[in-house]
């Protein structure tokens, strides 16, 4: 059984999902989600999730698998993704790993050893209360005192990730950075990123945000709240959802919510670019899906001399 995987990663708005869908129809394979928000049911417009019609064209995995009232850890994602890969390989096919959540992609490609620490709602609430009272920087300083390596990687404004790192430390007595050791993957892979200039990417992002709100993002968020999803649920911290909640609560105008969503997405793009670097020799940067076609065709066939994913 050939254990091969093709990954398309990179910043939001580069066209990863569309490229994977086109290539999977042309070359075969099944698409496995690597976006931390597309796992949630009912969060379709604001996550730019593949439509039901698109998912009928090619088999998709790990979309709509979790209620947005629930958490979903990296350890759970890694286990679910591995199960999907094994089933795909057993069918004689191969996975397309597609998404812009860097931790999801690298946890698979670098075989991270992820701590299986379940969420502690009480601890999380206490840490959130501390951040609300003292500020995100003060919470980040607490992380830096016990886990400087993680603190260096996590933006102080990303309170949710800071809380998770502190939670792992409190529960295990070890920094999350010590748990997240890399291993050798037991498969071969090709890794692509779509090259879009920053200015053009920002333009695409802004247009996409406008389309999301025009397509009914406010109604989507209202329906989630009406269904009992707490406004402070982890899923609702997603870009676009948090800003829409603030609008529905009267804390922002709609215009401000749209503008803040654009700015937050720009910050996300810059963060993603730090994880998927242009000088990383494992990543092949492409401008067009045709640049991927030939390499994948060879890779998933009999030849192995173009394999870029190394066993490390």
**Ordered structural domains, the chain, with CATH:** 4-114+188-299 (3.40.50.300), 121-179 (1.10.20.140)
Q: Indicate the length of the chain as a whole number.
A: 312
Please check if 10 is assigned to a binding site. Answer: yes
- 228, 69 contact by CB (below 8 A): yes
177 is in an annotated binding site: no
Mean pLDDT in residue range 266-284: 94
Distance CA 109, CA 8 (A): 12
119 burial class (0-12, 13-18, 19+ CB within 10 angstroms)? Answer: middle
Task: Check whether 14 is labelled as a binding-site residue.
Answer: yes
Asked if residues 224 and 236 have their Cβ atoms less than 8 Å apart, the reply is yes
Phi-psi region of 13 (alpha: psi -120 to 50; beta: other; left: phi over 0): left
Q: Is 240 annotated as a binding residue?
A: no
Note the pLDDT tens digit of each residue in 96-141.
Answer: 999 999 999 999 999 998 877 888 889 999 999 999 999 999 999 9
**Does 12 belong to an annotated binding site?**
yes
Q: Give the integer Cα–Cα distance in Å for 202 and 182.
A: 33
pLDDT above 80 (res 29): yes
Q: Is residue 17 a known part of a binding site?
A: yes
Indicate the DSSP class of residue 221.
H
**Would you tell me how many other CB atoms lie within 10 Å of the CB of residue 90?**
9
Token digits for 54? 């698109």
Tell me, what's the pLDDT at 153? 85
Q: What is the mean pLDDT of the chain?
A: 92
Q: Cα separation of 304 and 302, whole Å?
A: 7
Please give the C-alpha separations between residue 163 and each of 76, 78, 267, in angstroms, as whole numbers: 18, 20, 20
Q: Are 85 and 78 in contact (CB under 8 A)?
A: no
What would the two tokens of residue 229 be?
């999803």
Q: Considering only 9-23, 49-63, 178-192, which range has the smallest mean pLDDT?
A: 178-192
**Percentage above 90 pLDDT, the chain:** 78
* Residue 305 banded pLDDT, cuts 50, 70, 90: very low
* Model pTM score: 0.84
For the chain, counts of helices (H) and of strands (E): 14, 6
The mean per-residue pLDDT over the stretch 148-155 comes to: 90
3-state secondary structure 147-175: CHHHHHHCCCCCHHHHHHHHHHHHHHCCC
């Amino acid at each position: 059984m050939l254990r091969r995987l093709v990954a398309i990663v990179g910043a939001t708005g580069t066209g990863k999902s569309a490229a994977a869908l086109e290539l999977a129809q042309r070359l075969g394979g099944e698409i496995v989600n690597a976006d931390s928000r597309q796992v949630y049911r009912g969060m379709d417009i604001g996550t730019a999730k593949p439509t039901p019609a698109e998912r009928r064209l090619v088999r998709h995995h790990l979309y709509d698998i979790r209620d947005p009232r629930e958490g979903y850890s990296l350890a759970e994602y890694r286990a679910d993704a591995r199960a999907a890969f094994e089933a795909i390989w057993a069918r004689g096919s191969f996975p397309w790993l597609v998404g812009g959540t860097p931790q999801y992609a690298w946890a698979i490609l670098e075989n991270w050893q992820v701590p299986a620490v379940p969420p502690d709602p009480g601890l999380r609430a206490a840490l959130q209360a501390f951040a609300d009272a003292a500020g995100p920087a003060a919470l980040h300083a607490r992380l830096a005192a016990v886990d400087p390596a993680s603190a260096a990687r996590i933006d102080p404004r990303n309170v949710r990730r800071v809380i998770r790192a502190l939670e792992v430390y409190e529960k295990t007595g070890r920094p999350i950075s010590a748990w997240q050791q890399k291993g050798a993957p037991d498969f071969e892979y090709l890794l692509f990123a779509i090259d879009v200039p920053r200015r053009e990417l920002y333009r695409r992002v802004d247009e996409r945000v406008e389309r999301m709100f025009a397509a009914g993002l406010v109604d989507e968020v209202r329906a989630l709240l009406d269904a009992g999803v707490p406004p402070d649920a982890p899923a609702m911290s997603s870009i676009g959802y948090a800003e829409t909640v603030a609008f529905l609560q009267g804390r922002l105008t709609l215009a401000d919510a749209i503008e803040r969503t654009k700015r937050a997405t720009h910050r996300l793009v810059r963060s993603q670019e730090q994880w998927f670097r242009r000088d990383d020799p494992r990543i092949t940067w492409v401008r067009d899906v045709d640049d991927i076609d030939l390499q994948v065709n060879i890779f998933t066939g009999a030849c192995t001399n173009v394999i870029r994913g190394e066993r490390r």
